[in-house]
Amino acid sequence: MCVLLCHAVESLMSLFHVKVIWHNNSPGTYVYFMHYSEDASTMTFLVGAIWILDTLHVSLTCHSLYYYLITNYGVPMSLEYTVWSFSVSVLVNVLVIFVVQFFFTHKIYCLCRPQLKWLVTAPIIVLVLAHFGFGIVMVSAMFIDEKLSVILQARFYSVTPATAATALVEILITVSLCVLFYDSGSSSAFPRTKRLFHTLIIYAVNRCMGDRIEFHRWKAICQLASSIAEHPAIPSIPGFGYPV
């Protein structure tokens, strides 16, 4: 039971990290609208839409935490099922990742040399679409079957491929941006421009490192599902490996 509780706390804390990220992103969104209002309407709309979706994701995550930690406090049986807000939050998260990764892919396409545009961006586009497809399959399975065991069952054909695809995309985007920024900074004769490109390189690397939270989140959830499936203290239900 101790292992089960540890995995439950770890998975729930990984959901809390989402709120921390939102708290860090909101001031940046405010600064953007205050100082860069002259940007194209498409860019302004994109920033606003991402912030709204991110806010919705945090709200759904808070509802999930309230359901497990407050409403069902001391009720281990509640861990056997996924609350509706968790499934919807995964759907919103898949959509946000899809939009953001395509945005950076488009920027890489614009910055690349003409003969390298599709050579660099085509693998990224394929992986972005793969992640989106695996994510939709996973969300569909969660809506069809609310048992937490469905995540364990989908671990190899949906969760793991989706996580691997998005990790590869982030690595390719980060490497591409760093190479492009370094090349542009090296060819500039102005020290201020060089510093700006170096700052952008640091931003690109930090962005990639921050996405590790998504991996740890799904790792913790899969560990929780596995612990519930194997723990004899949890009453037997179909799908968890024990007879009814």
Phi, psi of 74 (to 5 degrees): 75, 15
Q: How far apart are CA 56 and CA 96, in angstroms?
A: 11
Tell me the three state secondary structure of residue 135: helix
Q: Is the pLDDT of residue 32 over 60?
A: yes
Question: 162: closest CA among 196, 143, 135, 181?
Answer: 135
Average pLDDT, the chain: 75
Please tell me the pTM assigned to this model.
0.75
CB-based contact 118:61 (threshold 8 Å): no
DSSP string, 70-118: IITTT-GGGGGB--HHHHHHHHHHHHHHHHHHHHHHHHHHHHS-GGGHH
242's tokens? 């024990």
pLDDT bin (cut points 50, 70, 90) of residue 14 is: low
Q: How far apart are CA 64 and CA 11, in angstroms?
A: 11
Q: How far apart are CA 45 and CA 65, in angstroms?
A: 30
Least confident of 2-11, 71-80, 81-90, 222-231: 2-11
Who's near 36: CB < 8 A, 6+ residues apart?
A: none
Q: Provide the percentage of residues in the chain whose pLDDT is more than 90.
A: 14
Q: How far apart are CA 165 and CA 72, in angstroms?
A: 35
Q: What is the pLDDT of residues 65-120, one digit of tens each?
A: 788 778 887 777 777 788 888 889 889 989 988 998 999 999 899 988 888 899 99
